Amino acid sequence: MNKLRWGLLSTARISSAVIPPIRLSHRSELLGVASRDQTKADAHARGNDIPRAYGTYEAMLADPEINVIYNPLPNHMHAGWTIKAAEAGKHVLCEKPLALSVAEVDRVMAAARANNVVVAEAFMYKHHPQTLKALDLLKNKPIGDLLTIKGVFTFDLTPRPDDIRWVPEYGGGSIWDVGCYPISFTRLIAQAEPIEVLGWQTTSASGVDEVFVGQLRFASGLLAQFESGFHTPYRSWMEVVGTRGSMFIGAPFKPADRAFFTLNYGDRSEQIEVGAGPLYQGEIEDMENAVLDGKPQRIPLEDSRHNVALILACLESARTGQIVRLG
C-alpha cells in the first residue's frame, strides 16, 4: 500500500474539515462518503467532488478499495462504528471522544489489535505546529518548574435547544464536547496523570453539564484547573505558570492562520510565532505515517484511555461531591 483511500462515515459538517488536508497530501485520496440516506450521500458527494456515495455505513465498510475511515458520528456512536470499521479491516481516525467509557476504549483497542489496523482519536491540536513548538520549548524550562496549568473552552449552545449535545444518552454535556480539550492539553503538558480530581457542574434541564469546572492534582505537586461550558460566550485559552514566568496560548485548540503564543516574565513578554499549514493536516499525516510507514502514532490509544478515564472521574466527583483518587 502506498496511498490511503479515505471514506467519510457521515455527512456531518465536521467531515468537511478533513477534505482539504486529505487532498493536499500525495499519500491520501478521498474516495467516498456514506450516509444513512442515499440522497444525502449523493448531495454531499456532488458538493465536494467525492467519487463514491453510499446509502448505508455498512456499504462503505464493505468497499475493499477504501482502507481508512474518518468517523465524525455523534459521541455515543464513536466506539461502536470504530469497532465495526476495524473488524472490516479499515484503519480509523475517530473524532473525540473516542468512547464514553473505559470498557468501550478497551474494546476499540482489542478490535484494532485483532484486525491489525491503526485507530486514532482526532485531537487535531496535538499535531499542530503551535502545540509541538510549545511543548518543545517547555522541555527547556524557560518559565522554570511548572506550578499550575489552567485551561478554558466554552461557547454558547443555548440558542440551539435541539442540539444532540444536550442529550445525556448521546454523550452530551460540555465536558465531553469541549472540556476534553483542556483536560487532554493539561495531561500533555504535565506528561503525567493526575492522582486526584475534584469537579463541580451546573446541569441543564436535560441533566447534562452545561458548565463544568474541575481541579487536578499531580504527584509532582503540579495543580491544574479547567472550565468548559455551553452557557457562556466563546472562550478558549491555556495558561502554564512556572517559577520564573508563564506561557499563554490564546487559541490552543483551533489555532488561527497566524499561530503564536506568549512567554511572560514579569513586565516583559516574548511572542513566539509558528508557521502553520491547514488545521487538520497533522492528523492526516500522522495516520499516513502510522499506516504506510509503520511509525508510532502521536496519540496512542492508551492516551485516549487515560483521557476518557479522567473525564469519567471528574463527572463522578461532580455527582458525589467528593474528591476522586486515581491510580
Output the domain CATH number for residue 145. Answer: 3.30.360.10
Helix (H, G, I), strand (E, B) or coil at 73: coil
**Per-residue cell: 24:** 493536499
Our answer to whether residue 96 is catalytic in this structure is yes
What count of other Cβ atoms lies within 10 Å of the Cβ of residue 70?
28
Whether residue 186 sits in one domain with residue 143: yes
The answer to the question of residue 226 being in a domain is yes
Average pLDDT rounded to a whole number, residues 64-88:
98
Q: How confident is the model at residue 36 (pLDDT cuts 50, 70, 90)?
A: very high
The answer to the question of residue 319 being in a domain is no
Q: Of 94, 122, 150, which marks where a domain is finished?
A: 122
Instruction: Return the sign of the alpha-carbon dihedral for residues 166, 36, 30, 114.
Output: positive
- The CATH number assigned to the domain holding 64 equals 3.40.50.720
| Grid-cell match 492526516, residue found | 284
Whether residue 157 sits in one domain with residue 99: no
Residue 327 pLDDT more than 90? Answer: no
Residue 213 pLDDT more than 90? Answer: yes
Whether residue 135 sits in one domain with residue 70: no
The answer to the question of residue 321 being in a domain is no
Whether residue 255 sits in one domain with residue 168: yes
Residue 121 pLDDT more than 90? Answer: yes
Q: How confident is the model at residue 307 (pLDDT cuts 50, 70, 90)?
A: very high
Q: Of 105, 122, 139, which marks where a domain is finished?
A: 122
Q: How confident is the model at residue 148 (pLDDT cuts 50, 70, 90)?
A: very high
Helix (H, G, I), strand (E, B) or coil at 246: strand
Residue 279 pLDDT more than 90? Answer: no
The answer to the question of residue 255 being in a domain is yes
Q: What is the pLDDT of residue 8?
A: 98
Q: How confident is the model at residue 23 (pLDDT cuts 50, 70, 90)?
A: very high
177-207 residue pLDDT tens: 999 999 999 999 999 999 999 999 999 999 9
229-264 residue pLDDT tens: 999 999 999 999 999 999 999 999 999 778 899 999
Whether residue 147 sits in one domain with residue 78: no
Residue 276 pLDDT more than 90? Answer: no
| Grid-cell match 520549548, residue found | 137
CB 285 within 8 A of CB 158: no
Considering the candidates 90, 96, 126, 133, report the single residue annotated as catalytic: 96
Whether residue 185 sits in one domain with residue 67: no
Whether residue 165 sits in one domain with residue 76: no
How many domains is the chain partitioned into structurally?
A: 2
Average pLDDT rounded to a whole number, residues 288-306:
96
- For residue 258, the enclosing domain spans 126-279
Q: Of 242, 257, 279, which marks where a domain is finished?
A: 279
- pLDDT, averaged across the chain: 96
